[in-house]
């Protein structure tokens, strides 16, 4: 059974335009200044137990799309000179907190989670109570992430760090898997292309959904009908057709995907829903808390490009007649025009299988290397004062407005 949209009565161009405008508003919201924030709280001692389980969410996830769940990987906590006994970290608007044995980042995150909890709860309630189905869907997946214990930033222990640009917390991956059926049910009765894209992302994450559930009723064809001008739905259709053994239709869908840009419709739906429900008293720390939760969710889902790379361009698939040429084009499309780090990483993985020269592999890794350096700049004892908080909010705003790769390119050149 497919979703049957009343397509003649739906103004898809207007809906997509509104989604884009909503993203622009989100960029303004996330980039709002912190000039009026002052450290005025007394020193406090943070508490809570860290949960350090992590799973790769980029090329590593793309390479293991057939597993029952995203596997855990070894990780390394960021070096933290503030972890020495007696060290303190200043947190914008909240005062000073002892770094403790977990380090400055974990201490700051624990303090922020504790102080922002009432506002974050009202934020979730506003999402759930709103009239838009996308708000209810976003609330479903956000709630488990915001409820999870704070974790310190970690670095992946990969053979090639450039192939592991992002990490998803176990809480984010679990949120997608546990809530995807409810999200899919909301998408079934909605005419919102953003919510449909969002639901397809949720249903494509983690283990294969139940064949009798709502996820199984979502069709890539509906995504193409709702948003034919962007690559993501065509990539989803190509993977679906290939799985059904319809090679000719799959090839046609792939050629369509290679001819259009990436659209970020699911991502825009996520950001716009959150912004529309923001409480009036949400301050710097609440927006940082929400920004990091959204970042975790984005890292946790499986991008359409990564799924297509695995289905189309695995080692054995490259032996299929005519496949290498399409895979070459897909790799270049993902690396040069992808909107996310997962896109770039997936393209680079295809290039490696195709035998790209080391110089070309290094060039394809530039955005991933820049992202790793940028992530390092958001860690440590000096990463939680007001100037640093403003910079991180500016980065989140750039991600909302331009996409992850564009934001990394912009901020990598501005890194202090």
pLDDT recorded at residue 134: 92
What's the rounded mean pLDDT across residues 88-107?
A: 91
**pLDDT over 70, % of the chain:** 75
Q: Does 110 have pLDDT greater than 90?
A: yes
Note the pTM of the prediction, 2 decimals: 0.78
pLDDT recorded at residue 204: 84
For residues 93 and 140, what is the distance between their CA atoms, to the nearest angstrom?
A: 29
Strand partners, 168: 55
Q: Please answer whether residues 262 and 339 qualify as being in contact, where contact means their C-beta atoms are separated by less than 8 angstroms.
A: yes
- Report which of residues 343 and 76 the model is more confident about: 343
For 159, residues 6+ apart whose C-beta sits below 8 A from its C-beta are none
On the 0-12 / 13-18 / 19+ scale of CB atoms within 10 A, 321 is exposed
**Count of alpha carbons within 13 Å of 325, Cβ hemisphere only?**
4
- Tens digit of each residue's pLDDT (9 = 90 or more) over 377-415: 899 989 999 999 999 999 999 998 899 999 999 998 775
Q: How confident is the model at residue 171 (pLDDT cuts 50, 70, 90)?
A: confident
Most confident of 58-67, 293-302, 303-312, 399-408: 399-408
**pLDDT over 90, % of the chain:** 49
Domain ranges in the chain are 12-412
For residues 176 and 156, what is the distance between their CA atoms, to the nearest angstrom?
A: 21
pLDDT recorded at residue 243: 87
What's the token pair of residue 65?
Answer: 């799309």
385: nearest Cα among 304, 297, 305, 284: 284
On the 0-12 / 13-18 / 19+ scale of CB atoms within 10 A, 304 is buried
- Tens digit of each residue's pLDDT (9 = 90 or more) over 307-341: 888 888 888 888 887 889 999 999 999 999 999 99
142: nearest Cα among 280, 3, 278, 340: 278
What's the rounded mean pLDDT across residues 49-56?
A: 29
402-to-77, 197, 254, 304, 407 alpha-carbon distances in Å: 29, 18, 24, 18, 6
Q: Does 98 have pLDDT greater than 80?
A: yes
For residues 200 and 270, what is the distance between their CA atoms, to the nearest angstrom?
A: 13
Residue 8 has phi, psi (to 5 degrees) of -60, -25
pLDDT recorded at residue 257: 95
Q: How confident is the model at residue 211 (pLDDT cuts 50, 70, 90)?
A: confident
Q: Does 247 have pLDDT greater than 60?
A: yes
pLDDT recorded at residue 154: 62
């Amino acid at each position: 059974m497919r979703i049957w949209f009343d397509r003649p009565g739906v103004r898809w161009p207007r809906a997509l335009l509104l989604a884009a405008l909503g993203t622009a508003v989100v960029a303004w919201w996330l980039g709002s200044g912190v000039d009026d924030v002052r450290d005025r709280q007394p020193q406090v001692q943070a508490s809570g137990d860290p949960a350090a389980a992590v799973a790769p969410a980029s090329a590593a996830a793309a390479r293991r799309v057939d597993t029952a769940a995203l596997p855990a990987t070894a990780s390394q906590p960021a070096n933290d000179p503030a972890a020495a006994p007696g060290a303190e970290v200043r947190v914008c608007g909240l005062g000073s907190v002892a770094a403790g044995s977990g380090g400055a980042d974990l201490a700051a995150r624990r303090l922020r989670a504790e102080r922002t909890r009432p506002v974050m709860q009202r934020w979730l309630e506003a999402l759930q109570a709103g009239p838009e189905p996308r708000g209810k869907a976003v609330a479903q997946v956000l709630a488990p992430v915001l409820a999870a214990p704070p974790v310190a930033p970690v670095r992946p222990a990969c053979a090639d760090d450039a192939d592991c640009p992002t990490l998803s917390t176990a809480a984010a991956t679990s949120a997608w898997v546990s809530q995807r059926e409810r999200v899919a049910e909301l998408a079934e009765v909605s005419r919102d292309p953003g919510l449909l894209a969002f639901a397809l992302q949720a249903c494509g994450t983690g283990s294969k959904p139940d064949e009798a559930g709502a996820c199984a009723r979502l069709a890539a064809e509906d995504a193409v009908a709702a948003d034919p001008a962007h690559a993501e739905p065509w990539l989803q259709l190509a993977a679906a057709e290939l799985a059904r053994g319809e090679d000719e239709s799959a090839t046609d869908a792939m050629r369509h995907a290679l001819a259009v840009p990436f659209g970020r419709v699911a991502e825009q739906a996520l950001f716009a829903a959150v912004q529309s429900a923001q409480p009036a008293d949400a301050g710097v720390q609440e927006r940082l808390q929400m920004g990091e939760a959204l970042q975790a969710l984005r890292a946790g889902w499986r991008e359409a490009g990564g799924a297509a790379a695995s289905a189309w361009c695995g080692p054995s698939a490259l032996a299929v007649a005519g496949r290498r040429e399409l895979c070459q084009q897909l790799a270049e499309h993902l690396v040069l025009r992808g909107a996310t780090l997962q896109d770039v990483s997936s393209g680079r993985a295809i290039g490696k299988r195709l035998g790209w020269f080391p110089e070309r592999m290094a060039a394809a890794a530039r955005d991933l290397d820049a992202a790793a350096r940028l992530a390092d700049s958001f860690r440590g004892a000096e990463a939680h004062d007001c100037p640093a908080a403003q910079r991180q909010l500016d980065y989140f705003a750039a991600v909302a407005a331009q996409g992850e790769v564009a934001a990394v390119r912009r901020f990598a050149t501005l890194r202090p």
